[in-house]
Amino acid sequence: MFNLLLINGPNLNLLGKREPSIYGVQTLESIESELNKKAEKEGVNLATFQSNSEGALVDRIQKAIGQVDAIMINAGAYTHTSVALRDALLGSEIPYVELHLSNTFSRESFRHNSLLADRAVGVISGFGPMSYQLAYNGILAFLKHQK
Ligand code: DQA
C-alpha cells in the first residue's frame, strides 16, 4: 500500500472564497475529501496537511521522512520564494509533485519561477481543482512504475 501526503501552503485554506475567478469555488475541504474517496477505493493511504506558516510546512515534510512514499505539494506563494521548503523536500529524499490550481506561467512574472520545480517528478499547473486529481494520478503511476 502506498502512503501519500498532500501538502497545501499559505492561503489555500481560503479556497472557495479566495479570488474565485482564478482559483474556482471549490473548498480545500471538498478537494481533499474527493481525493480521499478516490484513494480509499484504490487502497492508497492519503494524509493531508495545510499551513500558512513556512516552518510548519518544513516540520511536516521532515515528519514524513521514512513514512511517506511521495508528496503532492501546492506550496502557494512559497513556491516562488522558499529555499527552506526546497531544502526540506530535497533533504527528505521523498519524490514529490508540484501542483497549482492556476497556470502560474500565464500570470505575473514573479510566479514564473519555482524553487521546487526542477527537482520535482513533475509539475501540474492550470487545471483548477482537477490539478489535484492529475497530480495524484501522476505520482501514483510514477510509484507503480518504480516498484
Ligand atoms: C498557487 C499559485 C501561487 O502563485 C499562489 O501564490 C497561490 C496559489 C495556485 O495553486 O495556483 O497561493 O499555488
Nine-digit cell string for 64: 514524513
In short, whether 130's Cβ falls inside 6 Å of ligand 1 is no
| pLDDT value at 146 more than 90 | no
The closest residue, in CA terms, to atom 13 on ligand 1 is 76
Q: What is the pLDDT of residues 29-80, one digit of tens each?
A: 999 999 999 999 999 999 999 999 999 999 999 999 999 999 999 999 999 9
- Strands across the sheet containing 3-8: 45-50, 3-8, 70-74, 96-100, 122-125
Q: What is the pLDDT of residues 64-122, one digit of tens each?
A: 999 999 999 999 999 999 999 999 999 999 999 999 999 999 999 999 999 999 999 99
Which pLDDT score, from 0 to 100, does residue 143 have? Answer: 97
CB contact at 8 A, 136 and 35: yes
Active site residue 23: yes
Nine-digit cell string for 21: 475567478
pTM of the model: 0.97
Spatial separation of the C-alpha atoms in residues 28 and 19, rounded to whole Å: 14
Active site residue 96: no
Residues 78, 96, 100, 132: which is the catalytic one? 100
Whole-Å CA distances, 44 to 14, 64, 131:
27, 16, 18
In short, whether 129's Cβ falls inside 6 Å of ligand 1 is no
In short, whether 138's Cβ falls inside 6 Å of ligand 1 is no
In short, whether 100's Cβ falls inside 6 Å of ligand 1 is yes
Spatial separation of the C-alpha atoms in residues 106 and 7, rounded to whole Å: 23
